[in-house]
C-alpha cells in the first residue's frame, strides 16, 4: 500500500463534504474549540452538541476535535494550566499539573482521572478550564476564517467543474 493513498483518501473525503461553507467552517471551529478544553473524554460530545445548537456541520465539528490527540495532549494541557494559573496569579509550580498528567499517561480510566482531578483542588480545575476556554477561543476564531476561505474555494471549484461538465454534455 502506498503511503500517499491515505492522505489523498482523506483529502478527497474533505472535498466531498456537503453543506454551505459557513456551516462547514463553523463546525470545524467548534470542534477545535472543544478540542482545546480539558474535558478529555467529552470533546466529541461537546462539539456535536454545540454544532447542533449553532446549526453547524456535525461532521466537521468531529473532525475539528482531532486537533487534540495523544501526541499533543501534554502540550495543550500544560498551556491550559499555565494560562489559567497566570490569570489566577498562582505560583508557577507544576506539581499539580504533573500529578494530573501522570494519571492521564498511566492509561487510567477517564473516570479515575476525573475523580483525581476533582479531589486535587478547585483552583487547579478552574485554571485548566479558564486556560482551555481562552485557548479555545484564540484557536477557533482564526480557524473559522481559514476554513471558511478553504470551503468557499472548494465550493467555487465544484461549481466551475460542474459548469464545464455541463458544457461538454451540451456539445455532444
Query: Can you give the pLDDT at residue 4?
Result: 74
pLDDT greater than 70 at residue 2: no
pLDDT, mean over the chain: 83
Residue-wise pLDDT tens digits, 83-135: 988 888 876 565 666 666 666 666 656 566 667 666 666 777 788 889 999 99
pLDDT greater than 70 at residue 169: yes
Task: Please tell me the distance from the alpha carbon of residue 73 to that of residue 103, in angstroms, as a whole number.
Answer: 13
Q: What is the mean pLDDT of residues 33-40?
A: 90
Q: What is the mean pLDDT of residues 161-168?
A: 82
Query: Can you give the pLDDT at residue 16?
Result: 78
pLDDT greater than 60 at residue 142: yes
| Lowest mean per-residue pLDDT among 9-13, 64-68, 83-87, 105-109 | 105-109
Query: Can you give the pLDDT at residue 5?
Result: 81
Query: Can you give the pLDDT at residue 58?
Result: 93
pLDDT greater than 60 at residue 13: yes
pTM for this prediction: 0.79
Helical residues (DSSP H) of the chain, grouped into ranges = 5-15, 21-36, 43-54, 58-64, 73-88, 95-105, 110-120, 122-171
Q: C-alpha grid cell for residue 39?
A: 474535558
Nearest C-alpha neighbor of 147 from the set 3, 19, 50, 36: 19
Q: What is the mean pLDDT of residues 9-26?
A: 84
Query: Can you give the pLDDT at residue 162?
Result: 85
Task: Please tell me the distance from the alpha carbon of residue 93 to that of residue 121, in angstroms, as a whole number.
Answer: 14
pLDDT greater than 60 at residue 1: no
Nearest C-alpha neighbor of 117 from the set 103, 131, 107: 103
Amino acid at each position: 500500500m502506498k503511503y500517499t493513498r491515505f492522505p489523498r483518501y482523506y483529502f478527497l473525503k474533505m472535498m466531498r463534504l456537503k453543506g454551505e461553507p459557513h456551516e462547514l467552517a463553523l463546525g470545524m471551529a467548534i470542534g477545535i474549540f472543544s478540542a482545546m478544553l480539558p474535558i478529555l473524554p467529552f470533546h466529541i460530545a461537546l462539539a456535536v452538541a454545540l454544532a447542533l445548537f449553532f446549526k453547524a456541520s456535525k461532521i466537521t465539528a468531529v473532525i475539528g476535535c482531532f486537533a487534540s490527540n495523544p501526541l499533543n495532549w501534554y502540550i495543550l494541557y500544560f498551556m491550559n494550566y499555565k494560562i489559567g494559573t497566570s490569570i489566577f496569579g498562582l505560583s508557577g509550580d507544576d506539581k499539580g499539573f504533573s500529578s494530573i498528567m501522570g494519571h492521564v499517561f498511566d492509561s487510567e480510566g477517564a473516570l479515575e482521572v476525573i475523580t483525581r482531578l476533582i479531589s486535587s483542588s478547585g483552583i487547579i480545575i478552574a485554571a485548566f478550564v479558564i486556560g482551555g476556554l481562552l485557548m479555545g477561543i484564540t484557536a477557533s476564531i482564526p480557524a473559522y476564517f481559514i476554513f471558511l476561505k478553504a470551503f468557499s474555494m472548494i465550493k467555487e471549484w465544484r461549481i466551475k467543474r460542474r459548469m464545464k461538465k455541463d458544457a461538454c454534455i451540451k456539445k455532444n
